[in-house]
Structure 1
Amino acid sequence: FFSVPLPFCTMQSYQEIAPAAEKSYITKVAGAVIGAVAIGAFAFGYYQGGLQVDAELESTTVFNLIANTVARPAPSYSIFGSPRQSLAPLEARVAGVEIPNNKRIEIALQSIYGVGPKVAMDVLDATGINPDTRTRALDEEELTKLRQELDKVDYIIEGDLRREIRGNIERLRAIRAYRGLRHEMGLPTRGQNTKNNARTRKGKKIAIQGKKK
């Protein structure tokens, strides 16, 4: 019903138009690059200005007062209006280990590496503390007595004990003793049967694919 005329140009007209089109394309690319550089410079300057404003605000007394007020947690109040005490008191720290608060001190001391029932009772006898006392009921003086007693050279616990055990194993491996070789292979060292079980030392079973028939 209607027709669109096809563009038509001669070789002479093309030679006249091509340089102008190429110059226009280069101008557009250059304009885009200059615009991108200008936007980047503006954004960088805005960011630097914001940092400077933040530094000036932090130096003011009012800003510090507001920041401290927001950062400080609001105390929780009971129905009588007084601040409520925390329901979970801080755990006591003995020999660098936090011992549980809700257990008897005789049991709580055994959470320290190297302290068993015998050592725990010896420490409590030396300090005069009742073994049935809960850890949370001990005062600071009694906790200090426990720390001082465990710091004595009679007890090797925590890091010192771990280093001693590691050193003993390294010595057995260095002299190529039987127990040292068993440690290297990750197998029991005291003559246990390893055909069955011994999974604690050997780890989980590894499935081996059977031969194809």
Structure 2
Amino acid sequence: MDQEEEIKYFVRVRETDLDGTKQVQIALTGITGVGRHAAKIIAEQASVNSHAILGKMSDEEIERIRAAVENYAESVPTWMLNRPIDIYSGKSRHLLASEVPMTLDEDINIMRKVRSYSGIRHETGQKVRGQRTKSTGRTGTTVGVKRKKN
């Protein structure tokens, strides 16, 4: 009789529970900051099959994937990083998991403190990137034409 392999339904990588029933390159995109291209490169660096099911992999292969995720920024060119120039350190970084929203909030707060145009737009809750605001992006009470009562 064949022994069925046990599937780990959740694999923990970089503060994120990944779906163990999916292929490696698809499951890795569950980490915030890792897209399809980055996931394929991570699988190649870990020297695992990118089409294999993540939950059926051995613990050693999963450790190699974790190490490849940690060392992703050092092994790819700077144009593939999601933060090519960090404001504070001036170095190139790749933000993953909980670092992404935290850094975004910090950047918006810096824009508010500096009183830049986009910082002021963020403060007032208006569109930031030059979109039209005459007819879209309205919040609050509806503005329209009222009908006359007979």
Fold equivalence (TM over 0.5): yes
Tell me the secondary structure at the aligned position of residue 98 of structure 2. Answer: helix
What 5-or-longer segments of structure 1 have no aligned partner? 1-84
For normalisation by structure 1, the TM-score amounts to 0.51
> Comparing both chains, which one has the higher relative contact order based on Cα–Cα distances under 8 Å and sequence gaps of 6 or more?
2
1:112 to 28, 31, 34: 31
Question: Which amino acid is 1:119 matched to?
Answer: A
For normalisation by structure 2, the TM-score amounts to 0.70
2:11 to 75, 79, 92: 92
The equivalent residue for 2:47 is 128
Counting aligned pairs with the same residue, the percent is: 25
The equivalent residue for 1:27 is none
Distance in 2 (CA, whole Å) between partners of 1:194 and 1:177 is: 19
Question: Which is helix-richer, 1 or 2?
Answer: 1
Distance in 1 (CA, whole Å) between partners of 2:34 and 2:68 is: 12
Any runs of at least 4 consecutive aligned residues in structure 1 with deviations exceeding 4 A, and if so which? 208-213
Distance in 1 (CA, whole Å) between partners of 2:50 and 2:26 is: 8
Question: Which amino acid is 2:104 matched to?
Answer: I
Q: Which digits, 9 at most, give the CA deviation of each residue in 1:143-164, with x for residues without a partner?
A: 1111112223723201222222
User: Which has more radius of gyration?
Assistant: 1
1:170 aligns with 2:109: yes
Distance in 2 (CA, whole Å) between partners of 1:139 and 1:194 is: 53
Aligned residues: 124
Q: By how many angstroms is 1:208 displaced?
A: 5.7
Tell me the secondary structure at the aligned position of residue 120 of structure 1. Answer: helix
Does the 8 Å contact 2:7/2:20 carry over to 1? Answer: no
Q: Closer, same or farther in 2 for the Cα pair 1:129/1:153, shift >3 Å?
A: closer
Q: Closer, same or farther in 2 for the Cα pair 1:159/1:120, shift >3 Å?
A: same
2:66 to 138, 147, 151: 147
What 5-or-longer segments of structure 2 have no aligned partner? 74-93
Tell me the secondary structure at the aligned position of residue 172 of structure 1. Answer: helix
Distance in 2 (CA, whole Å) between partners of 1:212 and 1:152 is: 67
Q: By how many angstroms is 1:195 displaced?
A: 2.1
